[in-house]
Structure 1
Amino acid sequence: MLPADTIATIAAELAEADRTNGVIPRITARYPDATVEDSYAIQGVWRDRNIAEGRRLVGRKIGLTSKAMQEATGISEPDYGVMFDDTVYRSGDEIDASRFSNVRIEVELAFVLGRSLEGPDCTLDDALAAIDYAVPALEVLNSHIELEGRTIVDTISDNAAYGAMVLGDVHKRPDEIDLRWVPGVLSRNGEIVETGVAAGVLGHPATGVAWLANKFHQHGARLEAGEIILAGSFTRPMWVAAGDEVLCDYGPMGKITCRFV
């Protein structure tokens, strides 16, 4: 692994980039031997620094949940990051685009846990039993590392490129709807740009919740009741900028709108 002082230095660079909405050179260009373990260590130092400064952790994001994205990045499992309270928006909100770098939108479902969930043998059924409700969500991607040549190590270090989420108004218990078939029709300024269906996320959008619980068990941790789990995108990212109106139609789970200013 990278030396602890190097990990701390990179985490500080990312914290400053987050504060100034800047972009730093690729970690893997400067440290070509950096590993996935290094990237989670960097993310962890960055996370702890934010918590020490008063931000409140409200949940976790899961990324790289499609086979196509895993093959493109050369890994065989999803990645994850953390979500803080000041990154949560509601449908209809205006979002300051200048808060983010390389701003893109992804279509997802989020799950709010009704009780804690712990590995090591957590299954999809266990995850569904622990989920209080599902809610449609848009993820705002926020990349503080230059995009060209970026690897999974760079992305994970940068909190898995998480910037914010926009939550919808319709809540559904897992037994009220077949979550695999929730659609997403994503539009920018009235033009449909991306479409997908939630089954594209690991066959079932809650599969990643079970995966994350098992992953956390390896580090002596668990997912806690009340946490929001952003389950992964079932569309490609859509670029947005100030002035763009975004709408996503989730069929039986309603619509999300937001405007970037």
Structure 2
Amino acid sequence: MDTNAVSDVAAQLLGAYETGKPVPPIIEGNPAATVGDAYRIQQEQVRTWLANGEVVKGHKVGLSSAAMQEQMGVDQPDYGHLLSGMFHLEAQPIPSAKFLQPRIEPEIAFVLGRPLSGPGATVADAARAVEFVLPALEIVDSRIQDWRISIVDTIADNASSGGVVLGSKPTPLSAVDLRLTGCTLHQNGALVATGAGGAVLGSPLNSLVWLANTLGPLGISLEPGHVILPGSMTRAFPVSPGDTVVATMAELGSVAAIFDTPG
């Protein structure tokens, strides 16, 4: 895609945030678009958000579990940016009107205490960089009609990012085996899913390594204080205004997301 086409698609996606109306799949209008083009579209939007006062607070890895890849019909992970306006306080009302077609998923969030960069980053490097972990709920959303996404669509759409709710119990990495950390997900009091950290590329730490080594060649380092979401432990579930979702993770505690009812 040439520069004009990249800018046009970025403008369409930015417009969807304003209008609340999803756009047709990008790949339909740009069948030759590549993953590289998609990341250029994503970065164009990030530049706009930064110019409008947002701050990059971290990154997310999407589609890092077999369940999510099967659900979304893709075969590789992707990454997106977490901006300051995406973070919502635990157990405080989240404005439902902010989202177009939201879904929610439980994740183990890393909070970095040291820089981490690739290429060549190892699991040992990643573990050393993590200051603590938190239970988290990621609100994924799509500006693409009916979630009809290819890998190009989701990457261009900032990896289908929407929002983040972090729990309030920091746990040192040394105190937990992330692979074996179990999770239950309740929606409006009903159990909808169970999962474990090992669903995320074998271990969420592997996802962090993948991210560092993917961003490194682009000149991007993961910085102290950044929040990294490594990927979902279960499938994603649609949420509606008025819903309450609680993720409980062994040894890490719980985190709740409460969606308001507009009007």
Q: TM-score, normalised by structure 2?
A: 0.95
**CA–CA distance in structure 1, aligned partners of residues 37 and 182 of structure 2:** 36
3-state SS of 1:132 partner: strand
**Could you tell me which residue of structure 2 aligns to residue 141 of structure 1?**
140
**CA–CA distance in structure 2, aligned partners of residues 174 and 257 of structure 1:** 22
Matching of residue 112 in structure 1 with residue 111 in structure 2: yes
**Could you tell me which residue of structure 2 aligns to residue 182 of structure 1?**
181
**CA–CA distance in structure 1, aligned partners of residues 185 and 52 of structure 2:** 35
**CA–CA distance in structure 2, aligned partners of residues 196 and 68 of structure 1:** 10
| 1:194 and 1:238 in contact (8 A); partners too | no
Matching of residue 122 in structure 1 with residue 121 in structure 2: yes
**Could you tell me which residue of structure 2 aligns to residue 196 of structure 1?**
195
User: How far off its partner does 1:21 sit?
Assistant: 2.4
**CA–CA distance in structure 2, aligned partners of residues 190 and 39 of structure 1:** 38
3-state SS of 1:59 partner: strand
Q: Which amino acid aligns with 1:67?
A: A
Q: TM-score, normalised by structure 1?
A: 0.95
**CA–CA distance in structure 2, aligned partners of residues 132 and 13 of structure 1:** 38
**CA–CA distance in structure 1, aligned partners of residues 63 and 257 of structure 2:** 24
| 2:137 and 2:165 in contact (8 A); partners too | yes
| 1:97 and 1:242 in contact (8 A); partners too | yes
The size of the alignment, in residue pairs, is 259
**Could you tell me which residue of structure 1 aligns to residue 39 of structure 2?**
40
> Which runs of 5 or more residues in structure 1 are unaligned?
none
Identity over the aligned pairs, expressed in percent? 39
3-state SS of 1:22 partner: coil
**CA–CA distance in structure 2, aligned partners of residues 68 and 251 of structure 1:** 20
| 2:179 and 2:196 in contact (8 A); partners too | yes
User: How far off its partner does 1:258 sit?
Assistant: 2.1
User: How far off its partner does 1:20 sit?
Assistant: 2.7
**CA–CA distance in structure 2, aligned partners of residues 148 and 205 of structure 1:** 25
**CA–CA distance in structure 2, aligned partners of residues 165 and 149 of structure 1:** 23
3-state SS of 1:34 partner: coil
Q: Which amino acid aligns with 1:73?
A: G
| 1:142 and 1:162 in contact (8 A); partners too | yes
**Could you tell me which residue of structure 2 aligns to residue 233 of structure 1?**
232
Structure 1 segment 1-261 matched on structure 2, within 5 A: 2-70=1-69, 73-75=73-75, 77-147=76-146, 149-261=148-260
| 2:68 and 2:236 in contact (8 A); partners too | no
| 2:21 and 2:143 in contact (8 A); partners too | yes
Deviates more, 1:176-185 or 1:125-134: 176-185
User: How far off its partner does 1:251 sit?
Assistant: 2.5
User: How far off its partner does 1:137 sit?
Assistant: 0.4
Q: Which amino acid aligns with 1:220?
A: G
| 2:68 and 2:234 in contact (8 A); partners too | no
**CA–CA distance in structure 2, aligned partners of residues 224 and 93 of structure 1:** 28
User: How far off its partner does 1:35 sit?
Assistant: 0.8
CA separation of 1:39/1:256 partners in 2, compared to 1, >3 Å: closer, same or farther?
Answer: same
**CA–CA distance in structure 2, aligned partners of residues 122 and 190 of structure 1:** 41
